[in-house]
Amino acid sequence: MVAITQFAPVPSRQRLTTQIVELAADTTAIRSLDWDRDRFDIEFGLRNGTTYNSFLICGDKVALVDTSHRKFEELYLQALTGLINVAEIDYLVVSHTEPDHSALIGDLLNLAPDIVIVGAKIAIQFLENMLHLPFKSLIVKSGDRLDLGQGHELEFVAAPNLHWPDTIFSYDHHTGILYTCDVFGMHYCDDHTYDKNSHLLEEDFRYYYDCLMAPNARSVLAALKRISKLDIKLIATGHGPLLKESISHWLEQYQTWSETKAKTDTFVVFFYCQDYGYSEHLAGAIAHGVNRNGVQVEVVDLQETPPQELREWVETASGLIIGMPPQSCLVAHTALSTILAAAHQKQAIGLFETGGGEDEPIYPLRNKFQGIGLTEAFPPILVKEAPQTAMDQLCDEAGTDMGQWLTRDRTQKNIQAIDLELEKALGRISSGLYLITAKKKRLPVRCWLLGSPKPVVAPSVWRSPLPKTVPSNPLCKSAIILSSTS
Ligand SMILES: [Fe+2]
Ligand SMILES: [Fe+2]
């Protein structure tokens, strides 16, 4: 196997290069190396740049797996057209629609409009909104296969919530390569194509997992289970080095970290039919409210998830939220029976209509859950029209109620943990205006104007209305009174 490194600097303060590497039979990687990127999203600081990896498989049919970041438009298309006439590409597999992997899809379609885009149902929906171009598509789900000829048969594995709902893996039965996009990746940029120096990568691998994957640890475990039967020779990730030298080690790390995280997390499992009614919109608003209390939400499609997996989700969740599926969907009906059979009385339940026009009646289902003894975290949400601001707010509040119910013990403990120091500090308060600062490890982390329910920044304190009550936020544990205006 020959590895060719092609450096093509562009006039930019940031160093951008591409690397083209033959990975296996008929399979080539185009790695876009972003050497100096120091930030990903808002809070994800990078110290070793990153890469965006794309892969070309040339059987009788040609498939491209993912593209690259917009900043690589010229370099990437140069590299790709150096390998193949773009018009000969039959399929573009979209593992995930975030722009660091999909930004150049429009460019490709302009060059070759007959390319069939392969992806999860939700990925295709996202692309319809993103591209504003007509395109051919093929929706795939777990277990579906796509024969490219010459032995290259791709099998798809759904990996929802890692870290977007649209994520799929693709496994080539001929080469043993598993294409995973963001999953098992790391933000690490260097000339080494593979994970040869694994000890140098450990920290970045962990940091990436913690930032992107840990919040959905149970979905990670579900995805690991789905790929456990595959004979994986190479994990072709979308970021950083490709994993070949220490595959079992990296998989074990994901398994161990996710099991640990799953044991301690309180989480809500959110069941719905992804493409029905206003499911996704409403689910997003409810999940936002749940998350506000630090409770994780795992989203599960009633139509896509096998009964055994459904049972496991229900048995381990602290709360269940269900969006009503269409009455005509037999698979979803069976799924609801499975959920009812596995639900138990320590759980909270919340139900919402999804407004698809033929929703399963909500009240009979509610009665069944109440009959089992589950606590209703919020009353059924009825949806009769396209959701507007008021409905979004109602959903958000419903999610907040669920989150608060699930964290009530934790909140109680925090209140009990208010220590003597704080009590003494509060005892010094008489009339007047006070600024209270919460400190953590001797550093001020928040300020309150006494009585103000929201944190305030110091300069505005003196213009705020006079306080009436003492803030009850647990951060006050180490509060001290800094100043008084009286
Ligand atoms: Fe992503
Ligand atoms: Fe990514």
Round the CA-based radius of gyration of the chain to a whole number and report it. 26
pLDDT digits (tens, 9 = 90+) for 21-55: 999 999 999 999 999 888 776 557 778 899 999 99
pLDDT digits (tens, 9 = 90+) for 129-188: 899 899 999 999 999 999 999 999 999 999 999 989 899 999 999 999 999 999 999 999
* Pairing assessment for the beta strands 177-181 and 168-172 based on DSSP bridges: antiparallel
What pLDDT sits at residue 294? Answer: 86
pLDDT beyond 60 at 464: no
Higher pLDDT, 90 or 39: 90
Ligand 1: centre distance to CA 167 (Å): 9
What pLDDT sits at residue 418? Answer: 58
Mean pLDDT of the chain: 86
CATH of domain 3-262: 3.60.15.10
Higher pLDDT, 313 or 431: 313
Give the C-alpha separation, 29 to 25, whole Å: 12
pLDDT beyond 80 at 484: no
Ligand 1: centre distance to CA 164 (Å): 7
pLDDT beyond 70 at 352: yes
Higher pLDDT, 456 or 57: 57
Ligand 2: centre distance to CA 101 (Å): 6
Higher pLDDT, 210 or 484: 210
Residue 292 CA: distances (Å) to CA of 84, 212, 295, 402: 48, 18, 7, 10
Ligand 2: centre distance to CA 444 (Å): 35
Give the C-alpha separation, 290 to 143, whole Å: 32
Contacts of 356 (CB under 8 A, 6+ apart): 276, 277, 278, 279, 326
What pLDDT sits at residue 442? Answer: 56
**What are the residue boundaries of the structural domains of the chain, listed by start?**
3-262, 266-411, 419-484
Task: Kindly indicate the confidence band of residue 420, based on its pLDDT and cuts at 50, 70 and 90.
Answer: low
Give the C-alpha separation, 69 to 239, whole Å: 11
What pLDDT sits at residue 2? Answer: 39
Q: Which of 80-84, 318-322, 402-406, 471-475 has the lowest mean pLDDT?
A: 471-475
What pLDDT sits at residue 266? Answer: 87
What pLDDT sits at residue 416? Answer: 59
Ligand 2: centre distance to CA 95 (Å): 10
pLDDT beyond 90 at 226: yes
pLDDT beyond 70 at 429: no
Contacts of 11 (CB under 8 A, 6+ apart): none
Higher pLDDT, 266 or 1: 266
Ligand 1: centre distance to CA 51 (Å): 13
The DSSP code sequence of 172-208 is ETTTTEEEEETTT------S--B-TTHHHHHHHHHHH
Prediction pTM value: 0.75
Ligand 2: centre distance to CA 449 (Å): 41
Ligand 2: centre distance to CA 205 (Å): 14
pLDDT beyond 60 at 105: yes
Report the topology of domain 266-411.
Answer: Rossmann fold (3.40.50)
Ligand 1: centre distance to CA 99 (Å): 8
Ligand 2: centre distance to CA 211 (Å): 12
Q: Percentage of the chain with pLDDT > 90?
A: 72
What pLDDT sits at residue 450? Answer: 59
Task: Kindly indicate the confidence band of residue 423, based on its pLDDT and cuts at 50, 70 and 90.
Answer: low
Ligand 2: centre distance to CA 250 (Å): 18
Ligand 1: centre distance to CA 207 (Å): 15
pLDDT beyond 60 at 309: yes
Q: Which residue in 209, 188, 208, 207 sits closest to 197, CA to CA? A: 188
Q: Which residue in 420, 315, 302 sits closest to 356, CA to CA? A: 302
Q: Which of 71-80, 239-248, 274-283, 334-343 has the lowest mean pLDDT?
A: 274-283
pLDDT beyond 80 at 472: no
Q: Percentage of the chain with pLDDT > 70?
A: 81
* Pairing assessment for the beta strands 348-352 and 375-376 based on DSSP bridges: parallel
Ligand 1: centre distance to CA 270 (Å): 21
Ligand 2: centre distance to CA 343 (Å): 36
Q: Which ligand is nearest to the CA of 162?
A: 1
Mean pLDDT confidence for 185-210: 94
Cis peptide before 163 (omega within 30 of 0): yes
Ligand 2: centre distance to CA 70 (Å): 13
pLDDT beyond 60 at 98: yes
Ligand 2 (ion): which residues have CB within 5 A?
100, 182
Higher pLDDT, 11 or 435: 435
What pLDDT sits at residue 14? Answer: 80
What pLDDT sits at residue 438? Answer: 60
What pLDDT sits at residue 180? Answer: 98
pLDDT digits (tens, 9 = 90+) for 3-27: 444 545 445 568 999 999 999 999 9
Ligand 2: centre distance to CA 275 (Å): 24
What pLDDT sits at residue 40? Answer: 72
Inter-residue contact 352 to 399 (CB < 8 Å): no
What pLDDT sits at residue 154? Answer: 98
How far, in whole angstroms, is CA 228 from its chain's centroid? 21
Ligand 2: centre distance to CA 85 (Å): 26
